[in-house]
Amino acid sequence: MTRIIIDRHRVSLEYETDCLLIRARDESPRSVPLQRLSQLVCMHSVTLTTQLIGQLHKRGIDLIVLNQRHSAHSFALYANQQSQVERRCRQYKWQYHSNSRLPFAVELCRHKFKVLERLLREFENTNAARERISASLERLDHCPSEHWLRGAEGAVQRLAFEHWRSHLPPELEFRTRQRRPPPDPVNAALSLTYTLVHHEAVRQALKHGLDPQLGFYHRTAYARQSLACDLMEPVRPHVEYWVVSMFNDGRISRRHFTKSQAGCLLGKQGRETFYEQYNEKLDVWRRQLDSTARWVARRLDTLEEKAA
């Protein structure tokens, strides 16, 4: 199956005889059979017909619209591939009580810490950082509360960003993680990548009959798909490592970004390179998200069987 990313101005998308029809100014129309398509990602300036949107939904194809300047204007229409009401009822019950959701949250953080510790082995002079992560892993065995867990995870994440900053060129001016607006190229690249991976996490949650809104580590909050955020946690170190590598080997650089009141944004040439590289990595990240979502679903089913 194929993902198509439309990242150009003055492009219109239509439906015609089982195909996605792509019209761009001064170019001949191009068509893509919808049976080959699993996801359509568009920048906010693309025009779509309602007929096409209806066909995407009917055929189980996700539609994701991204707005770099105003992230609140981004949205997605996911094809709910699998509706499992009983599993979602169990999910609601288990995430509602702190003593039930804490074991889920601990395991998600444990996985994230292990991934980060493994990635740091590829760098020199990381013994001290790895020792701190190992100590945090040991303390997870006796995690007393969600508040304590958030403090431990936050400390490890700050350690990770300190490490990434030390391995990035100073001219990128990456000092700390800042989302809205991103003040520098690294934060801009992280935000864009996180946004795309988040949409894939929602897709995997739906695929396994889970409600992406109801998390175990991330609590329910306005406009947040908390379970999708949970599923992302073990993948975040991989994303950060990939973004750092992109800058360090010159695939993207400061010249690919522009600054405005909306923050630091990736320009057209940089986006072309970014999306090409992202598509190469996504299959790996998708499998990791799928594995975590499957684990949550199995855990919910197993716990319900024991409770019965």
Span 143-165, average pLDDT: 95
Q: Which of 64, 44, 50 is nearest to 15 (CA)?
A: 50
Q: At residue 166, does pLDDT exceed 90? A: yes
Q: Is pLDDT at 238 greater than 90 in this prediction? A: yes
Q: 8 falls in which pLDDT band (50, 70, 90)?
A: confident
Distance, CA of 223 to CA of 225 (rounded, Å):
7
pLDDT at residue 160 is higher than 70: yes
Contacts of 247 (CB under 8 A, 6+ apart): 168, 169, 172, 185, 186, 189, 253
Domain spans in the chain, listed from the N-terminal domain onward:
2-77, 85-307
Three-class secondary structure of residue 122 per DSSP:
coil
Average pLDDT on 3-32 reads 89
Please give the distance of CA 166 from its chain centroid, rounded to a whole number: 24
Is 176 in a helix, a strand, or coil? Answer: coil
- The more confidently predicted of residues 232 and 1 is 232
Cα separation, 28 vs 48, whole angstroms: 17
Which residues does residue 265 pair with via DSSP β-bridges, in sequence order? Answer: 258
Average of per-residue pLDDT values in the chain: 90
pLDDT at 26: 82
pLDDT attached to residue 110: 97
Alpha carbons 177 and 196: distance in angstroms, whole number: 17
Average pLDDT rounded to a whole number, residues 124-134: 91
89-98, 226-235, 283-292: which range is least confident on average? 89-98
Question: Does residue 40 carry a pLDDT above 60?
Answer: yes
* The pLDDT value given to residue 307: 58
Residue 45 has pLDDT above 90, yes or no: no
The winner for highest mean pLDDT among 62-66, 69-73, 174-178, 229-233 is: 229-233
Q: Does the structure show a pLDDT above 90 at 152? A: yes
Burial string for 162-181 (b: 16+ CB within 10 Å, else e) reads ebbbeebeeebebeebbeeb
Residues 76-90 have a mean pLDDT of 77
The backbone torsions φ and ψ at residue 237, rounded to the nearest 5 degrees and listed phi first, read -60, -35
Quote the pLDDT of residue 155. 96
CATH entry 3.40.50.720 includes domain 85-307: no
Percent with pLDDT over 70 in the chain: 96
Whole-prediction pTM: 0.83
Contact 62, 76 (CB under 8 A): yes
Q: Which two tokens stand for residue 2?
A: 């194929």
Residue 197 makes CB contacts below 8 A (sequence gap 6+) with 232, 235, 239, 282, 285, 289
| Topology of the domain covering 2-77 | Ribosomal Protein L15; Chain: K; domain 2 (3.100.10)
Mean pLDDT of 53-74: 84
User: What pLDDT does residue 305 have?
Assistant: 60
Say how far apart CA 74 and CA 66 lie, in whole Å. 5
Strand partners, 257: 266
Mean pLDDT along residues 34-41: 90
130-135 contact pairs (CB < 8 A, 24+): 132/156, 132/159, 133/159
Closest to 260 measured CA to CA, from 166, 190, 201, 188? 188
Residue 294 sits at the vertex; the CA angle it makes with 292 and 300, to the nearest 5 degrees, is: 105
Q: What is the pLDDT of residues 176-222, one digit of tens each?
A: 999 888 999 999 999 999 999 999 999 999 989 899 999 999 998 88
DSSP secondary structure, 69-114, as one string: S-GGG-EEE-------HHHHHHHHHHHHSHHHHHHHHHHHHHHHHH
pLDDT tens digits, residue range 242-263? 999 999 999 999 999 999 887 8
